[in-house]
Chain A
Amino acid sequence: MATKASRSAARLMMAPAVILLLGWMLVPLVMTLWFSFRTYLPLRGGDQGFAGFDNYVRFVTSSAFWPAIGATLTIVLGALIITIVLGVLLALLLDQPMWGQGIVRILVIAPFFVMPTVSGLVWKNMFLDSVNGLFAQVARMFGATPVEWIIDQPFASLILIVSWQWLPFATLILLTAIQSLDREQLEAAEMDGATAWKRFWHIILPHLSRAITVVLLIETIFLLSIFAEIKMTTAGAFGTKTLTYLIYQRVLESQNIGLGSAGGVYAIILANIVAIFLMRIVGKNLDR
C-alpha cells in the first residue's frame, strides 16, 4: 500500500530521532571504552597511556568492589520484594468496591512524583533523625530508645526510602493489570466454591505474572542506578556505596577516569543483562 515516495519520506521523518540517539549512544560509549583502557588521572599527571586490562582487573579486585555489589543487591532486592509484595496486596485492595477510590489512588500514587532529592532529605532529617526525627519522637513516647537509623540501619533506611518511592509505580501497574482480568471467570470460580485464596493463587496471580515481570525488570533498571537518594542520605558512607555510587566517586570525586570508566563498562554490561529480558517481553507484545 505504501508507495516508494512515502517510504523515503518515512525514512526522512525517522532520521533525526535515529541519528540523535545513535550519537547519544555511540559517542559516550566509545569514549568510556577508550578511557577504560587508559591510565587517566586529570588531576595527577593526565593521560599516562595505554593500560591494557589493568583498570578492569583493579576495579574488581579493589576492596570496595564486593561490598559495592553487596550493597547494590541488598538495596535492589530489598526494594523489589517490598514493592512487589505490597504492590500486589495494595492493588488487590484498590480493586475492591469502596468509597472515595479515586482519592485513595491519588494518595497512594503521590510519592512517585516527589523528586529524589526531596525524598532523600525529608526522610533523613524529618523522620529518621535520632534526635528530632518523627520516628525518634514516637519511640520516645513509648519509652523506647531512638534508633540512629541512617548510621545504624543504613540499608533499612535506604530500602524504606526507595520502596516508598517505587511502591506507587508497582501498585499502579499491577492495578491496571488486575482491572483487565476477566470478571466472569472470577465469578464462575466463586460460584464453584473456590476460596478467596484459591482464586488469588490460580486465577489472579497467573494473570498478573506478566505485569509483575515487567515491574520487576523496569524497577531493577531504575534501582540499579539510584543516586540522589544515597547522595542525600549517607553519601556512600556506612557501607551503602552501591556500584553506581562507587563509579561516581571514582570518576568525579577521586578523578580516576580509567578506573571509573572500567567500572562504567561493568555497569553497562550488568544493565544490559537485565534489559535483554525486558526487551523480550516488550518485543513479544509488539508482535500482537
Chain B
Amino acid sequence: MARSISQRRKTINTVLAWSLGLLIFFPILWTILTSFKTEGDAIAYPPKFLFFDWTLENYAIVQERSNYMRYLWNSVIIAGGSTLLGILVAVPAAWSMAFVPSRRTKDILMWMLSTKMLPAVGVLYPIYLLFIKLGLLDTRTGLVIVLMLINLPIIVWMLYTYFKEIPAEILEAARMDGAGLKDEILHVLTPMAIPGIASTILLNFILAWNEAFWTLNLTAAQAGTLTAFIASYSSPEGLFYAKLSAASTMAIAPILILGWFSQKQLVRGLTFGAVK
C-alpha cells in the first residue's frame, strides 16, 4: 500500500519536473530547431515544431556573412587566455593562503572579493581611456587582461576553498618521511590539487566566454568575441530568424556542453563557499 502511494508520488513528481524542465529549456530547444528551418518555415503560422524541411543552409550563410570562425577563435583565445593567466597568478596566492595562513589571510580574501563587487560601469571610462592610450582597444591582449582581472577574485577563492580541503596531516606525514619541499609540492600536493584546479578552470572559462559588458564595449571587428558576433544581429533585416538561430546555436553550443559538467563548481565558485 505504502509502496504504491510512493510509486504514484514518484510518477507525479516525474511528470511535473519534466514538464517544468522542458518549459525552461524550451527557448533553447526552439532556437536550435529554428536554426535548421528555412526562413519561411521559421515564421510559418501555425508554428512548425518538428515537421519542416530540415536544412543546414543557415549555418553556411552565417559563416560566410560574418566569419564565425574568427569570432569563435577570439572567444577561445580570450576566455582561455584570461583563465590560464588567472590560474597562474592565483595558484601561488591561494596556495600560500591555504597552507601558510597568517592573521591577515582572511582580510586579504575578503578584500579580493570586494573588488569583484565593483560595478563595471563605474570604471568604464577610465578603462576605455587607458585602452586607447595603451593601444589595447579592440585587441585580444586587452580583453585577456581585463577578463583575467575581473575573474581573478573568483579564481583565488575557488582554489582557496579546494586547497583548504587538502588535509594538513598528509603534508606532515610526507615531511616525516623526509620529503623535501620539491617532493612535497610535486608528488603530494599537486595530484590532490589537480581536480580543484580543473574545476576552477572550467567555471572561469564559462564566465569569461559569456562576459558581455567589456567584450561589447572594448572590441569591434578585430577582437570581437561571440557575444559581439551575436550583437551584430541586433538590427533586423528582412527575414532573419533562422540565421539568428543558427548564429545563436553556434555561440552557445560549446559552452552549454561544458556548462553541464560544471554544475557542482558553479555553486562553489559563485557563492564563495557560503553554500555547501
With A105-B263, A141-B46, A286-B273 known to touch, is A271 a contact of B124 (CB < 8 Å)?
no
Q: What is the size, in residues, of chain B's interface with A at 8 Å between Cβ atoms?
A: 96
Tell me whether B274 and A118 are in contact (CB under 8 A): no
Residue A199, interface by CB 8 Å = no
One of A49-57, A59-67, A187-195, A243-251 contacting the partner: A243-251
Q: Which of A27, A116, A140 contacts B227 (CB 8 A)?
A: A116
With A25-B118, A113-B256, A228-B212 known to touch, is A35 a contact of B125 (CB < 8 Å)?
yes
Tell me whether B115 and A25 are in contact (CB under 8 A): yes
Tell me whether A96 and B93 are in contact (CB under 8 A): no
Contact with B along A227-264 (1 / 0, CB 8 A): 11001100000000000100110011000010011001
The smallest C-beta distance from B160 to any residue of chain A, in angstroms, reads 10
The smallest C-beta distance from A98 to any residue of chain B, in angstroms, reads 4
The smallest C-beta distance from B32 to any residue of chain A, in angstroms, reads 11
| Cα-based distance from A112 to B16 in the complex (angstroms) | 21
Contact with A along B144-161 (1 / 0, CB 8 A): 000001001100100000
Measured as residues with beta carbon below 8 angstroms from the partner, the interface class of chain A is 35 or more
Q: Which of A17, A141, A224 contacts B156 (CB 8 A)?
A: A17
| Cα-based distance from A214 to B276 in the complex (angstroms) | 12
Tell me whether A126 and B30 are in contact (CB under 8 A): yes
Residue B139, interface by CB 8 Å = no
Tell me whether B119 and A271 are in contact (CB under 8 A): yes
CB neighbours (8 Å) of A14 from chain B are 92-93, 96-97, 108
| Cα-based distance from A11 to B92 in the complex (angstroms) | 10
Tell me whether A109 and B248 are in contact (CB under 8 A): no
Tell me whether A31 and B230 are in contact (CB under 8 A): no
CB neighbours (8 Å) of B129 from chain A are 31
| Cα-based distance from A108 to B31 in the complex (angstroms) | 16
With A109-B263, A113-B252 known to touch, is A125 a contact of B241 (CB < 8 Å)?
yes
Residue B83, interface by CB 8 Å = no
Tell me whether B97 and A116 are in contact (CB under 8 A): no
With A98-B14, A221-B117 known to touch, is A111 a contact of B28 (CB < 8 Å)?
yes
Tell me whether B252 and A285 are in contact (CB under 8 A): no
With A21-B152, A24-B149, A172-B263 known to touch, is A115 a contact of B30 (CB < 8 Å)?
no
Tell me whether B273 and A282 are in contact (CB under 8 A): yes
CB neighbours (8 Å) of A84 from chain B are none
Interface residues of B in 87-138 (CB under 8 A from A): 89-90, 92-93, 95-97, 99-100, 102, 106, 108-115, 117-130
Tell me whether A121 and B230 are in contact (CB under 8 A): yes
Residue B234, interface by CB 8 Å = yes
| Cα-based distance from A268 to B13 in the complex (angstroms) | 44
Additional A-B contact list (18), CB under 8 Å, known A114-B252, A121-B233, A164-B27: A17-B152, A20-B89, A28-B123, A29-B123, A31-B126, A31-B129, A31-B130, A108-B25, A110-B24, A115-B227, A117-B216, A125-B244, A126-B30, A137-B45, A169-B270, A210-B275, A272-B114, A285-B274
- Top 4 nearest A-B pairs (CB, nearest first) are A113-B259, A10-B96, A28-B123, A13-B92
